[in-house]
Structure 1
Amino acid sequence: MDRKLLLLSVFSFSCSLVSCVSTQQVVLTNRSSVALQDKAIAIKRDQLKSPSATGAFPVLLTQSGDTVAAQTDDLDGDQKWDELFFVTDLPAAGQQTLTLSWVPTKPAYPVKTSVRFGKRTSKDTPVQPKTSDTLYANQLPKSPGYGYQPYQTDGPSWENDKVGFRHYFDGRNAKDLFGKRVAYMSPETVGISATGAVEDNYHVMADWGRDIMAVGNSAGIGGLALLINNNFHRLGVTVNDSINNVESTSFQILTEGPVRSVMHLKYHAWRPDGTNRRYTVEENPAIWPGMYAYQNTARISGLQGDELLLIGMNNLDPTDPVKEINVDDKWVVLLTHDRETYNKEWLLGLALILPKSTYQGFVEAPVSGRLAQGYFAKMKVQDNQPVTYYAVGGWELSNEAFKEAASFQNYVLDLARQLGAEVQVQVK
């Protein structure tokens, strides 16, 4: 049967189960002069004529009858989805009209994002997949009574079809980078031995790629810290510590789907070393297809007014000084292109795309210490107000163009313009 006729048959059948009066038109208008690829679009549920029938799923079709991969996400945890999310291409100053219908069976789409998180409850028990966890201050790998790493890949990892990242949930709270050589998702067994034990098996090359970035005592790419009276304060501790300066750290996968994965991290009662202060920090790393980057939204409460939020980019290879580039009126880019990889084996471009409205310049961390060998963007923040930014990693084996500094810079600047482009969404 012809593919379009098959789709028509499916939708005709769905009309017997789901009210066809709920069919709508979604008109997307690119208001910028930039052609957009894999542009993220989120539509709130209350904009849609959601049918009363339970178990109905929205499907988007282009004017030529092609299906647009999409997912419904429950981001507030109330067991009801909040928004419809998808990515699409739009011509410069152009428009696209999609037809939204409802079907009784959840559609299956190619998987282009993923989150992996696993934990073992003792040194002798196998790793089990989890969607959430809480780490307390006395539960570090070197805390008395522990003496082992409980987390697969030291904490959650997330990826899309271009690149992967991981967060050191074991108290260090730095963000590392997985270089990918394929578009498919890396195996769920990365970081686990054949017997289910935690194993560092991702620093060797596999078909999908490997962990490539050297982090040291930096905050990694997009990690958080705080500047108080010109003093650097690490969020958490180092690998050699046995007690955390964060009372408890919680992690939860908010959504994991074919076109978007989102996590939530919350640091309760962070007491920066040498201070009597106490903060709560939250962040929401998110990733969708098509970009060598992830989005993060961070907020901090308990501020006294003399702090600057620091967003990090490691600098273990000082060959290429950081570049600061303004992109239109919306973004500031911090960028390096050198060998920020194990044994300086490969070229790796790193960048932060930061909101210009709160950017206060950058600072270089000391070459040694508890927070070291990194550049940090200084961000003006208000108590419990979000700051959204993007962290980029371009490995030469992921994309041959990234061997050249100019090509990586052009990619980052184009990505910043695409992220800043406004798309008007009309639901009719």
Structure 2
Amino acid sequence: MKFSHFILMVCVLPSSLKAQNKATITISNNSVLDRKETVAAIKWKDIVASYPQIDTANFTIINSKTKKQIPFQLEHKGQSTIQNLLVQIDIKAKSSLQLFIQKGKPEKFISKTFARFVPERLDDFAWENDKIAFRTYGKALEKTEGDAYGFDVWVKRTSKLVLNDRYKRNDYHIDHGDGLDYYHVGYTLGAGNMAPFVKDTIRYSGNYHRWKILDNGPLRTTFQLIYDSWNAGGIKVQAIKTISIDAGSQLNRIENVYTFDDKKPLPVVVGIIRREKAGVILLNEQQGIMGYWEPTFEKEGTTAVATILSTPAKKMWVDKEQLLTLTSVKNNEPIVYYSGAAWDKAGQITNSKQWQDYLDHFNQELQNPFIINVKDTSITKK
């Protein structure tokens, strides 16, 4: 009897040992800037290398300090396989944050980014995050009285997603408490669109004709706009624009690929429409930052717009219609820049100095990316 009891004990002990598989992500901010509401991307291959048993439908990300779950997203970039794990975090300057990946049921987090094709409004394509919203114009609007070439801004003063409600209401030029569309684009580049600049002339394309959503929230939305070929001052050009918007950011990341039959680089400009009344203009060629604090409209408030290049700015200037930054691209090679907007009635950026500070801070963040390390921290518990 004692012997059989001993055998039972031997059999039970191994089954009482539970292996808790998990990995630890260390995100280091070595800059002198505090980083708030920042979306960080961790390569999925690094996650799998440290946590090969991970179940993509049954894991959580835990903040090591608060012990609470944080929002995350599996980014595909239009691929069938996962490319990155996205997390939204705050990190003080010269400090690090540890996140634990472990098995468990993730909480339901509110989506903070969204984009969609809007066929009911003449083929608009619209996108937003918890700070600001944008749209561009499609094929159905071409060559009509209401056509426009640039990016449009929909200002908002709520963290909620508003696009669907505004289109459903079909009354987005009036502020119903969450913002409105009072931004005028016309035949300009609007809020930071890009176009070829050949023989000292902006060579506008037609509107986008095809689109593709690569990821759609909750922390990052990415989509492509495809433009048919057009005559850019004697050069046949095609374009694909890949636009990403992150939760918490006032600016989009825009990656353009121009295809053209020329060995020479193609000159291109990024533009911001200028208003008749005076505003505050920022032209920083050295840093590639072009900013505009628009004149205030009595009822609607003030919109701020900006672009930041990742390639050298050859020239910046202001003409009667637009603020312009000149750079160049090579055939079939991507060019990356950032453009976006803010609204003073949202209550976070309320004057031109704060807008300039935001842009400087954003640019410094680009120059000082996070250092990310993933390691296996599986433990065995009794």
Q: Structure 2 counterpart of 1:26, which letter?
A: I
The CA deviation string for residues 6-65 of structure 1, in whole angstroms up to 9 with x for no partner, is xxxxxxxxxxxxx843x1110111121111112221122211126467653442111131
Q: Structure 2 counterpart of 1:110, which letter?
A: I
The structure 1 residue matched to 2:133, chosen from 152, 164, 177, is 164
Number of the residue aligned with 1:416: 363
Q: Give the drift of 1:216.
A: 1.7
Change (3 A) 1:306 1:296: closer
Matches within 5 A, 1:53-132: 56-64=57-65, 65-77=67-79, 79-103=80-104, 107-119=107-119, 127=120
The structure 2 residue matched to 1:267, chosen from 227, 231, 234, is 227
Verify: 1:218 aligned to 2:218, yes or no: no
Contact 2:291 2:305 in 1 (8 A): yes
| Structure 2 CA distance for aligned equivalents of residues 335 and 223 of structure 1 | 14
Contact 2:55 2:103 in 1 (8 A): no
Change (3 A) 1:378 1:80: same
Contact 1:310 1:376 in 2 (8 A): yes
The structure 1 residue matched to 2:245, chosen from 252, 274, 287, is 287
The structure 1 residue matched to 2:335, chosen from 384, 387, 393, is 387
Number of the residue aligned with 2:292: 336
Number of the residue aligned with 1:425: 372
Taking structure 2 as the reference length, the TM-score comes to 0.83
Number of the residue aligned with 2:46: 47
Number of the residue aligned with 2:198: 228
Q: Give the drift of 1:381.
A: 1.4
Q: Structure 2 counterpart of 1:70, which letter?
A: F
| Structure 2 CA distance for aligned equivalents of residues 37 and 259 of structure 1 | 14
Quick check: which one's strand share is greater? 2
| Structure 2 CA distance for aligned equivalents of residues 263 and 96 of structure 1 | 30
The CA deviation string for residues 98-147 of structure 1, in whole angstroms up to 9 with x for no partner, is 111244x564212211113231xxxxxxx4xxxxxxxxxxxxxxxxxxxx
Change (3 A) 1:101 1:54: closer
| Structure 1 CA distance for aligned equivalents of residues 90 and 165 of structure 2 | 33
Verify: 1:398 aligned to 2:327, yes or no: no
Q: Give the drift of 1:229.
A: 2.1
Change (3 A) 1:76 1:332: same
Number of the residue aligned with 2:173: 203
Change (3 A) 1:269 1:163: same
- Higher RCO, Cα 8 Å, sep 6+: 2
Contact 2:78 2:215 in 1 (8 A): no
Q: Structure 2 counterpart of 1:180, which letter?
A: K
SS of aligned partner of 1:34? coil
Gaps of 5+ in 2: 1-18, 143-147, 376-382
Number of the residue aligned with 2:301: 346
Q: Give the drift of 1:223.
A: 0.8
Change (3 A) 1:58 1:167: farther
| Structure 1 CA distance for aligned equivalents of residues 54 and 303 of structure 2 | 50
| Structure 1 CA distance for aligned equivalents of residues 225 and 328 of structure 2 | 21
Contact 2:280 2:352 in 1 (8 A): no
The CA deviation string for residues 198-257 of structure 1, in whole angstroms up to 9 with x for no partner, is x4x2111122211121112111112121111222211226xxxxxxxxxx7211111111
| Structure 1 CA distance for aligned equivalents of residues 285 and 314 of structure 2 | 13
Verify: 1:378 aligned to 2:326, yes or no: yes
Gaps of 5+ in 1: 1-18, 120-126, 128-148, 194-198, 238-247, 368-372
The structure 2 residue matched to 1:362, chosen from 316, 340, 358, is 316
Change (3 A) 1:53 1:37: closer
What's the % identity of the aligned pairs? Answer: 19
Number of the residue aligned with 1:13: none
Change (3 A) 1:97 1:220: same
Number of the residue aligned with 1:324: 283
Q: Give the drift of 1:332.
A: 2.0
Matches within 5 A, 1:147-162: 150-151=122-123, 155-162=124-131
Aligned length: 347
| Structure 1 CA distance for aligned equivalents of residues 199 and 92 of structure 2 | 47
Number of the residue aligned with 1:145: none
Structural RMSD (CA): 2.6
Q: Structure 2 counterpart of 1:35, which letter?
A: D
| Structure 1 CA distance for aligned equivalents of residues 92 and 261 of structure 2 | 43
Verify: 1:176 aligned to 2:152, yes or no: yes
SS of aligned partner of 1:215? coil
Q: Structure 2 counterpart of 1:347, which letter?
A: T
Contact 1:39 1:418 in 2 (8 A): no
| Structure 2 CA distance for aligned equivalents of residues 279 and 106 of structure 1 | 46
Change (3 A) 1:211 1:57: farther
Contact 1:254 1:264 in 2 (8 A): yes
| Structure 2 CA distance for aligned equivalents of residues 283 and 58 of structure 1 | 34
| Structure 2 CA distance for aligned equivalents of residues 45 and 401 of structure 1 | 35
